[in-house]
Amino acid sequence: MNRVLVVNSGSSSLKYAVVDADSGDTIADGIVERIGEEDGGVPDHAAALQAAFDELDDDMTGLVAVGHRVVHGGPDLYEPTLVDDAVVARIDELSPLAPLHNPPALLGIEVARRALPDLPHIAVFDTAFFHDLPPAAATYAIDRDLAAKWGIRRYGFHGTSHQYVSEQAAEFLGAPLDSLRQIVLHLGNGASASVIVGGRPVETSMGLTPMEGLVMGTRSGDLDPGIYAYLWRTAKMSVDDIESMLNRRSGMLGLGGHIDFRVVHRQIASGDAAAQLAYDVYIHRLRKYIGAYLAVLGTADVITFTAGVGENDAAVRRDALSGMTALGVELDEQLNADPRREARRISTDDSATTVLVIPTDEELAIARACVSLLTNRS
């Protein structure tokens, strides 16, 4: 039995799961929220981890490793990596690339290493899968010396999910992974799209940071970079304020006031024009990406929806792909409306491109990455 404790430590929440990497079963999972909040929260990440341990109790027995989700691995950390002090220092050095994500992940790693010193701690990077993006997709068209000096490239994120879901799609279709031309749409609070050919990443929507690309729960996605200078110079906003606004108060929240699509649909039904516009902007951006990615591919064998919105919101899936019959993509309305929470096809038999819904499981993917690192070491 290969049980792994998977820790995903954010600035104000700590998600945890104990996963059996062999069977794929989640033994237990949970989230400790409101870290650092005065009212009813827990004071810090150490207390959050202790709360997780208290909750897990007996499920903690028999662990073989602790897997940590780390958002940014920068240019050189892309394999699952056994954490030691040097790796901690390296992740810390990468904090300027991911100021909102890497510091809280490091806090999680440090408290977990102290609490469970006898277990191997393994960092799994959200950028890893996209390390091999082809140069044409990874390169920003800016001064190349400046880009090289500061590590500016498109790194991509949600890599664990894109890889896992593309492998599951191949399994579901009973086709070899290396034969498939895929588009994966990971639509959660964070959202990203990718093109995967033969199991290798070819294009993805997130860039240097997880801000580029699709409209998200609280992030803007693509912007004219001129907006940064304009807000700084004219609205006198600081760079930190602009960054925080674009990360935390934009996207669906900034446009319509809500990040949860169940609420967005209710608001639209009650005639809320702001919610309608937010939804329309979200769908418009998503369709632009799907169209672009179909052009990158020429033909797509499969388009897969995953994550909270992608797995559950039939209206988003319908509106994202409507009117694309000429592009080879046709949804079956009944299959699309089926709320089952398992891998399933939602396209018609005639659709040249198969459309799937596949639940993502980043915790399982991280647990398996940990076990495979340990197995290869021994």
Any binding-site annotation on 287? no
State which residue has the least CB distance to ligand ADP. 308
For the sheet containing 191-197, what is the strand order? 200-204, 191-197, 181-187, 302-306, 354-357, 344-345
Any binding-site annotation on 328? no
Helical packing angle, 102-115 and 45-56, nearest 10°: 60
8 Å CB contact between 11 and 104: yes
Q: Describe the chain by its helix, strand, coil percentages, rounded to 5.
A: 45, 20, 35
The CB-of-78 to ligand ADP minimum distance in angstroms stands at 21
Tokens for 274? 């702001």
CA distance 352 to 343: 19
Q: Which is nearer to ligand ADP, 2 or 161 (CB)?
A: 161
Residue 359, CA atoms < 13 Å, CB-side half-sphere: 9
The continuous run of DSSP H or E covering 311 comes out as helix 307-312
Tokens for 323? 């009117």
Any binding-site annotation on 310? yes
The CB-of-361 to ligand ADP minimum distance in angstroms stands at 11
CA distance 201 to 156: 10
The CB-of-294 to ligand ADP minimum distance in angstroms stands at 24
CA distance 370 to 123: 8
**Location of structure tokens 């009117």:** 323
Q: Which is nearer to ligand ADP, 245 or 314 (CB)?
A: 314
Residues that bind ligand ADP (CB under 6 A): 188-190, 217, 259-262, 307-309, 312-313
Active-site annotation holder among 126, 272, 313, 361? 126
Q: Which is nearer to ligand ADP, 261 or 293 (CB)?
A: 261
Any binding-site annotation on 291? no
Secondary structure (3-state) at 186: strand
The residues with which 3 forms a beta bridge, in sequence order, are 20, 63
Q: Which is nearer to ligand ADP, 156 or 217 (CB)?
A: 217
Active site residue 126: yes
Any binding-site annotation on 262? yes
Any binding-site annotation on 87? no
The CB-of-8 to ligand ADP minimum distance in angstroms stands at 9
The amino acid present at 56, given as its one-letter code, is L
The CB-of-157 to ligand ADP minimum distance in angstroms stands at 11
CA distance 353 to 351: 5
Any binding-site annotation on 197? no
Q: Which is nearer to ligand ADP, 208 or 214 (CB)?
A: 214
Catalytic residue positions? Answer: 126
Residues annotated within the binding site for substrate are: 69
Residues making up the annotated binding site for Mg(2+) are 8, 362
Give binding residues as ranges. 8, 15, 69, 186-190, 260-262, 308-312, 362
